[in-house]
Structure 1
Amino acid sequence: MGGVAAALLAVVGGTAAYAYAGEVPRGTTVLGIDIGGRSRTDAAEALRAGLAAQADRLAAAIPVRLGDNQQISEVKPAEIGLSVDVEATVVAAADGPSSPFRLLFGSHTVEPVVTVDAARVLEVLSKGLGPDAQEMKMPAITFNGTTPKATYPKPGRGLDVDKAAQELRAGWLGTYPLAVPLAEVRPATSSTA
């Protein structure tokens, strides 16, 4: 009886050691790249190698439709600083769910942590705004001789940089074309000020 108990204990211990090996749970993938069952450092190296193998796909131009405009602009990910944050993605994978059953038999897909440079998004996408964009009218005072004439501010339609960056970050690796809505852009003052 003692030998059976020892064998059972060895099997359970071996299974637990297998299941909990590495800091990143077994069966974890990012963009189809297996990073599970490894230390964070090894998982980051595996993710970098896998991303390098997918470099052409990740660097491909992204079709983007701005506002109601039917014209589609193409944006290259490098132009707007769109990239996978390898370290943050590995941290998210390591901190993911780790039930014993899933560790032994399951798989877990982790979405990559994507970064984008909002200033570069504004610079690049502003070039393709087209006829849907309307410049806001800034307040001003002009003079006709000695008579002042007020120009009251009016909102326009333009790029909401935060929303555009969020859409690009979320949709980069999804279906195209990405729809980036235009938003009402208001001057920092009103006609009552």
Structure 2
Amino acid sequence: MPAASKPKKKGRNKLVLLGVGVVGVAGIAYGAGLLMNHSDVPKGTTVLGVDIGGGTRDEAVQKLDEAFGKSTDAPLKLSVDGETVSLQPDQAGLQFDTQATVRGAAGADYNPVSVIGSLFGGERVVQPEMPVDGEKLRAALERAAGGAGTATEGTIKFESGKAVPVYGKAGKGIAVAQSTKAVEEAYRTQVETGKPGTVQVPTTTKEPAVSNAEVDRVMKEFAEPAMSERVTIQTDAAHSIPFGPVSLPKILSFKAIDGKLVETYDLEALKEAYGTTFDGVQITTATGKRDVLPQDVVSALRKALRGKTEAERVGVIDTNPN
């Protein structure tokens, strides 16, 4: 007598059918998600909480610019030993690159979780692109360090018709190398929150770049002779002008460059001082004739201010240098 056949396991068949059905529904949902999301930037894409998805790249960039424009350009406040100075992001190599951020967010996303999730309001988070120009940031901090803290630089001032030495003093200033990370993080926080904050930057003891010996050298070689007597600048006897203790302090100053004091000339103040003295005078050059420029006056003035005799203190502008 043949053995009776075993009854089929209906429960297992139902599970198989259910699994096939789930896969089928998922496939349909995945296909629907792909069909519905033809935008440059996939739906549900967010950057720092701002939804930029469902449109073109240009539209996404515009959304980011509108949302973060003010905070990306707002100056950072640096606290240096109790003193506050401003740091402009664009001058310090700090930026929120919305174009690069959108480029990274654009394009089709074939991840099934993201595609199906977009049908139900799912979120796709993209990190902002915030590149830092390290060299530019360090340079900006160096500039800020020169205007912050308690250290003072050696220089020379002109008071009551005399040259007066100003010796530098050591003090606290920005520790540039240690401050870059703190500034980068503060900028990112400012962009994310929209609230400008104050960065407590590390400080270090700073010595003056210009030594007392350098101040004394420039006093002896230039500043004292410059103010000792009047000088005259001319092209000829009919076109000349004197400079002395009254006019020179408005024109002359000093700048520290690599530990040296270098005299500088305010061209606008100089031009105002000589006025119409050289009107009509022409200088012959290889390309033709031109008027006398403040730079021509500076060249003659720089040499005359170092003169010790009456003849040496007359600076002549050469009108025919060729």
**TM-score, length-scaled by structure 2:** 0.37
| Contact 1:167-1:180 within 8 A present in 2 as well | no
2:188 corresponds to: 170
Once residues 60 and 82 of structure 2 are traced to their aligned partners in structure 1, the CA distance between those partners, rounded to angstroms, is: 37
Match of 1:103 among 102, 118, 129: 118
Structure 1 position 70 matched with structure 2 position 82: yes
1:27 corresponds to: 44
Once residues 182 and 119 of structure 1 are traced to their aligned partners in structure 2, the CA distance between those partners, rounded to angstroms, is: 19
Match of 2:93 among 54, 69, 81: 81
Q: 3-state SS of the aligned residue for 1:167?
A: helix
Structure 1 position 115 matched with structure 2 position 128: no
Match of 1:14 among 19, 32, 36: 32
Q: 3-state SS of the aligned residue for 1:74?
A: strand
**TM-score, length-scaled by structure 1:** 0.55
Once residues 41 and 198 of structure 2 are traced to their aligned partners in structure 1, the CA distance between those partners, rounded to angstroms, is: 34
Once residues 99 and 28 of structure 2 are traced to their aligned partners in structure 1, the CA distance between those partners, rounded to angstroms, is: 34
Structure 1 position 48 matched with structure 2 position 61: yes
Structure 1 residues 26, 120: closer, same or farther in 2, change over 3 A? same
1:61 corresponds to: 75
The aligned amino acid for 1:128 is A
Unaligned 5+ segments in structure 1 are: 134-155, 185-193
Deviations 1:130-183 (A, max 9, x none): 4488xxxxxxxxxxxxxxxxxxxxxx9721165356335533414512333358
Structure 1 residues 26, 178: closer, same or farther in 2, change over 3 A? farther
| Contact 2:94-2:133 within 8 A present in 1 as well | yes
Once residues 165 and 181 of structure 1 are traced to their aligned partners in structure 2, the CA distance between those partners, rounded to angstroms, is: 11
Q: Between Structure 1 and Structure 2, whose CA radius of gyration is higher? A: 2
Q: How many residues align?
A: 150
Q: Which moved more, 1:120-129 or 1:158-167?
A: 158-167
Q: How does 1:122-133 map to 2 (within 5 A)?
A: 122-129=138-145, 130-131=148-149
Deviation of 1:75 (Å): 1.5
Once residues 37 and 115 of structure 1 are traced to their aligned partners in structure 2, the CA distance between those partners, rounded to angstroms, is: 26
Deviation of 1:63 (Å): 1.7
Unaligned 5+ segments in structure 2 are: 1-20, 152-172, 206-322
With CA pairs under 8 Å and 6+ residues apart, which has the higher RCO, 1 or 2? 1
Structure 1 residues 10, 16: closer, same or farther in 2, change over 3 A? same
Structure 1 residues 102, 177: closer, same or farther in 2, change over 3 A? farther
Once residues 182 and 50 of structure 1 are traced to their aligned partners in structure 2, the CA distance between those partners, rounded to angstroms, is: 39
Q: 3-state SS of the aligned residue for 1:64?
A: strand
Q: 3-state SS of the aligned residue for 1:56?
A: helix
